[in-house]
């Protein structure tokens, strides 16, 4: 004989089944993990990249991208390299970006070469000014750099794959080359701890590639761009439709290429306008 289920038991079963399960998305402090990945630089020959006498070798950048609780993206990562050759080092960084991967702020935690007690270096990318500051216990050791900008711009050094990606948004719908500026922040001496070097250039769209770019099992048909500016002279850039940098390559010798070599996505990236 089949015994009927008591109404209270039915209610308890319904309550258990309808209880909200924990989200499978990684969350932390109101933000959601979007993706994580790694960039690597490859060169012909065992050469370094960057300013002379401060070159870095065997560069890798691991990063995690978060959807901010207040909009836009937050980026956390670490850059690993050798400088000089054979001496491993790593630098942690954080950044804020728009959904088009345009850089808004970046914070570098490595101590400055000529201001060991200062830091971290915090740069803000304002529409007409790049502002970089590093506090210190002694005011004389503090750094305050302000660079007026009269074109859309991006950071070329320290090496910043996400800043390169942000430059491509400038010309996404342009029929001809768009004027831009790139900035290098070089550490020169105790007198000039951070020297900004600004260069004019242009960037133009080359259309959509017919060859897929695949990494970690995910494929894109990249948007292609050509950047012309000192000191890189000419560089080709490939981005995903959302604006994520897939690769950037400087032809000539030594041929230099930075590329996304590892990628894992947790939620959909915002589509670049």
Three-state SS string over 75-142 comes to: EEEEEEEECCCCCEEEEEEEEEECCCCCEEEEEECCCECCECCECCEEEEEECCEEEEEECECCHHHC
> Within a domain: residue 14?
no
pLDDT digits (tens, 9 = 90+) for 217-236: 999 999 999 999 887 788 89
Residue span of the structural domain in which 79 resides: 27-265
Count of structural domains within the chain: 1
User: Does the pLDDT at position 257 exceed 90?
Assistant: no
> Within a domain: residue 13?
no
> Within a domain: residue 270?
no
> Within a domain: residue 3?
no
User: Does the pLDDT at position 37 exceed 50?
Assistant: yes
User: Does the pLDDT at position 190 exceed 90?
Assistant: no
DSSP β-bridge partners for residue 65:
35, 75
Label the pairing between strands 153-157 and 233-239: unpaired
CA atoms within 13 A on the CB side of 190: 4
> Within a domain: residue 191?
yes
Residue-level pLDDT at 8 = 41
> Within a domain: residue 122?
yes
Are 29 and 69 in contact, with CB atoms under 8 Å apart?
yes
> Within a domain: residue 11?
no
> Within a domain: residue 41?
yes
Residue-level pLDDT at 26 = 67
Compare 250 and 76 and report the one with higher pLDDT. 76
Output the average pLDDT for the chain. Answer: 81
User: Does the pLDDT at position 247 exceed 90?
Assistant: yes
Residue-level pLDDT at 66 = 95
- Residues 50-61 have a mean pLDDT of 72
Alpha helix ranges (H) inside the chain: 7-18, 161-168
Rounded to an integer, what distance in angstroms lies between the CA atom of residue 228 and that of residue 238? 15
- Residues 19-35 have a mean pLDDT of 65
């Amino acid at each position: 004989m089949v015994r009927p289920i008591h109404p209270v038991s039915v209610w308890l079963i319904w309550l258990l089944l309808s209880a909200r399960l924990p989200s499978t998305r990684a969350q932390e402090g109101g933000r959601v993990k979007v993706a994580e990945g790694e960039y690597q630089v490859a060169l012909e020959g065992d050469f370094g990249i960057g300013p002379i006498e401060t070159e870095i070798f065997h560069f890798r950048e691991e990063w995690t991208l978060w959807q901010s609780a207040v909009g836009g993206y937050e980026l956390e990562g670490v850059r690993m390299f050798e400088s000089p050759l054979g001496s491993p080092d790593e630098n942690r960084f954080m950044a804020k970006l728009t959904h088009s991967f345009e850089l808004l702020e970046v914070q570098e935690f490595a101590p400055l070469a000529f201001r060991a007690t200062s830091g971290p270096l915090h740069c803000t990318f304002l529409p007409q000014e790049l502002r970089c500051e590093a506090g210190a216990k002694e005011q004389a050791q503090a750094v305050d750099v302000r660079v007026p900008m009269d074109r859309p711009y991006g950071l070329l050094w320290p090496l910043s794959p996400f800043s390169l990606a942000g430059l491509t948004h400038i010309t996404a719908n342009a029929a001809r080359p768009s004027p831009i500026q790139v900035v290098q922040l070089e550490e020169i001496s105790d007198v000039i701890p951070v020297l900004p070097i600004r260069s004019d250039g242009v960037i133009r769209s080359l259309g959509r590639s017919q060859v897929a770019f695949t990494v970690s099992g995910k494929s894109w048909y990249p948007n292609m761009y050509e950047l012309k500016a000192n000191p890189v002279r000419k560089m080709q850039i490939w981005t995903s439709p959302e604006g994520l940098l897939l690769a950037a390559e400087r032809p000539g010798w030594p041929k230099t290429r930075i590329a996304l070599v590892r990628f894992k996505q947790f939620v959909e990236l915002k589509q670049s306008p």
